[in-house]
């Protein structure tokens, strides 16, 4: 354990205090303004690392999450997507109760810190292995991916920076499954309506097959960390 339990408790308690006081109307109104403002700022990676130390307590210092999918891989996610998701969470457009207090301005910082931490995370290499589905129906999954997903998420799930379409390659299967269900059922209020329309008719079997296929899409080799890689920025902790 590179993070002591006491330090973690301290962070949690601090954030609980923040969540009690940090929520207000102005935060809720500022989501899309914040995205626009953060996108044009020049990132300070040193401050990004400072902010990321808190995120690492859950997402791990490598940003690889937990393979059971309870916590997603965020390493290597597109900068624009990280900014949008964090701004959406801050504005109350996407519910992540366990993370909410840590994302609020009083804990994470303002627009500059948002830009900084997003730049830092987007530069982290991705895991060589992520949790994949059962692999039982991959041909069907592939054909569904081509007809239903490719035009937005790209041939290998690499996403689209300019359009805020997330990178979905290299992600844990159970997380993909949960988010996909949330988006389909309207629980992620920031979801793209076109995606919702595109996926709502998939059968349960089709959904499992396409997400299994997605969980096996690999990032480009130069984005993947060597096996056993540890984030050197965390050595001293
Ligand atoms: C208490 C644990 C916890 C902490 C601390 C935390 N997160 Fe998270 N984060 C989560 C969980 C759990 C999810 C997935 C929620 C879900 O399933 O919708 C998540 C989701 C995300 C996502 C969305 C990923 C996606 O694919 O859409 C981003 C981006 C993110 N976190 C960034 C951060 C950043 C940046 C920080 C630090 C400022 C941070 N997180 C701190 C638990 C945490
Ligand atoms: C019209 C474009 C579009 C299509 C088609 C589309 N998506 Fe998406 N997808 C998006 C956007 C935009 C988001 C981010 C939504 C948001 O901001 O919350 C997203 C989010 C996701 C997420 C959550 C990612 C994360 O990190 O939380 C998954 C998983 C996903 N899409 C899978 C799929 C699959 C599988 C298909 C095909 C069956 C598909 N999408 C089709 C645009 C699309």
For the chain, domain boundaries? 5-127, 138-223
**pLDDT at position 30, please?**
58
* pTM to 2 decimal places: 0.90
Ligand 2 and 190: CB distance under 6 A: yes
Number of Cβ atoms within 10 Å of the Cβ of 46: 10
Domain 5-127 has CATH 1.10.10.10: no
Q: State whether the beta carbon of 74 lies less than 6 angstroms from ligand 1.
A: yes
- 138-223 belongs to CATH 1.10.760.10: yes
The pair of structure tokens assigned to 232 is: 């050197």
What is the C-alpha to C-alpha distance for residues 30 and 126, in angstroms, rounded to an integer? 31
Write out pLDDT tens, residues 92-119: 889 899 999 999 999 999 999 999 999 9
Q: pLDDT below 70 — which residues of the chain?
A: 1-30, 236-237
pLDDT at residue number 32: 82
Using one digit for the tens of pLDDT, what is the confidence trace for 70-91? 999 999 999 999 999 999 999 9
Ligand minimally distant from the alpha carbon of residue 79: 1
On the question of a common fold for 5-127 and 138-223, the answer reads yes
Distance between CA atoms of 5 and 141, rounded to whole angstroms?
Answer: 42
HSE of 232, CA atoms in CB hemisphere, 13 A? 3
52 CA closest ligand 1 atom index: 37
């Amino acid at each position: 354990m590179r993070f002591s339990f006491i330090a973690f408790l301290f962070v949690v308690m601090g954030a609980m205090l923040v969540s009690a006081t940090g929520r207000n109307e102005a935060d809720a109104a500022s989501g899309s303004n914040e995205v626009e403002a953060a996108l044009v700022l020049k990132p300070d990676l040193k401050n990004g690392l400072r902010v990321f130390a808190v995120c690492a307590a859950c997402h791990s210092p490598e940003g690889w999450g937990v393979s059971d999918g309870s916590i997603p891989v965020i390493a290597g996610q597109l900068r624009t997507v990280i900014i949008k998701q964090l701004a959406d969470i801050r504005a109350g457009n996407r519910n992540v109760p366990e993370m909410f207090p840590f994302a609020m301005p009083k804990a994470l910082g303002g627009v500059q810190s948002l830009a900084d931490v997003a730049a830092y995370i987007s530069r982290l290499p991705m895991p060589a292995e992520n949790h994949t589905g059962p692999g039982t129906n991959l041909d069907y999954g592939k054909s569904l991916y081509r007809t239903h997903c490719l035009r937005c998420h790209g041939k290998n799930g690499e996403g689209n920076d300019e359009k805020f379409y997330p990178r979905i390659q290299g992600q844990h299967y159970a997380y993909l499954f949960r988010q996909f269900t949330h988006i389909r059922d309207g629980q992620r209020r920031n979801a793209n309506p076109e995606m919702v329309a595109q996926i709502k008719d998939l059968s349960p079997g089709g959904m499992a097959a396409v997400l299994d296929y997605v969980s096996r899409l690999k990032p480009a080799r130069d984005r993947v960390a060597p096996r056993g890689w540890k984030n050197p920025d965390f050595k001293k902790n």
